[in-house]
Chains A and B, each alone.
Chain A
Amino acid sequence: GESVGLHLPTLSVQEGDNSIINCAYSNSASDYFIWYKQESGKGPQFIIDIRSNMDKRQGQRVTVLLNKTVKHLSLQIAATQPGDSAVYFCAEIGGSNYKLTFGKGTLLTVNP
């Protein structure tokens, strides 16, 4: 079946370093992608999104890169802070399917 998955389930970085969280997707019809941040016991919080007509999009301290050739998505966080510690999910939607499909998530831990 089609799925969205993550290369690394956990990532530990030092405060101030840049973080890169990766995501692979298998549905070639996917044309819209969202990154969410989820802190413990809370609902997912929107970070940034990207459509398939773009290969890069930047927000505040975050950049999403989309490589449609290899069906890979990444989230880059600049100058990672302790408050960035959370689980990060990528989600995708494509074709006539109106449902978001979520990956399992990556736990980011920022060490002071």
Chain B
Amino acid sequence: DGGITQSPKYLFRKEGQNVTLSCEQNLNHDAMYWYRQDPGQGLRLIYYSQIVNDFQKGDIAEGYSVSREKKESFPLTVTSAQKNPTAFYLCASKTGGTAKNIQYFGAGTRLSVL
């Protein structure tokens, strides 16, 4: 099956700990995105990558880091600098790099702080 796979589904972070959320896609999409969703809110862009080995900060990048070493993978690290990490994290991808077209989403990772 083609699609976007996020893992784990649930993740718990201890204070001062870095955690990494996985996002893998087998759709051969050029662009990938990370969003954060808080309860009752819309999606806010953390980081995005339009091509391998390149990425840009979104609207709320502080306390997060990413890498894009492979086309199919775009992991997100939530660092200890992110003081309010509890949220639902969504990964998305789309074809066409900078073209305006549909972003497809994974099932999400719910991160909580212990």
Known: A44-B90, A45-B105. A31 touches B42 (CB 8 A): no
11 extra interface residue pairs, beta carbon distance < 8 Å, beyond A98-B31, A98-B100: A32-B101, A42-B107, A43-B6, A43-B106, A44-B43, A89-B43, A99-B45, A99-B48, A100-B45, A102-B43, A105-B41
Q: How large is the interface on B (under 10, 10 to 19, 20 to 34, 35 or more residues)?
A: 20 to 34
CB-defined A-B contacts under 8 Å, sample of 6: A34-B103, A41-B108, A45-B105, A89-B42, A99-B45, A102-B42
Q: How far is the CB of B48 from chain A (nearest CB, A)?
A: 7
Q: Is the CB of B50 within 8 A of A98?
A: yes
Q: Which residues of chain B are within 8 angstroms of A99 by Cβ–Cβ distance? A: 45, 48, 58-59
Q: Which residues of chain A are within 8 angstroms of B50 by Cβ–Cβ distance? A: 98
Q: Is the CB of B42 within 8 A of A103?
A: yes
Tally inter-chain residue pairs, CB-CB below 8 A.
52
Q: How far is the CB of A61 from chain B (nearest CB, A)?
A: 19
Give A contacts to B, CB under 8 Å: 31-32, 34, 36, 41-46, 49, 51, 89, 91, 93, 98-100, 102-105
Known: A102-B43, A104-B41. A49 touches B105 (CB 8 A): no
Q: Which residues of chain B are within 8 angstroms of A91 by Cβ–Cβ distance? A: 43
Closest residue of B by beta carbon distance from A30: B100
Closest residue of A by beta carbon distance from B108: A43
The 5 closest A-B pairs by CB, nearest first: A43-B105, A102-B42, A32-B100, A102-B43, A104-B42
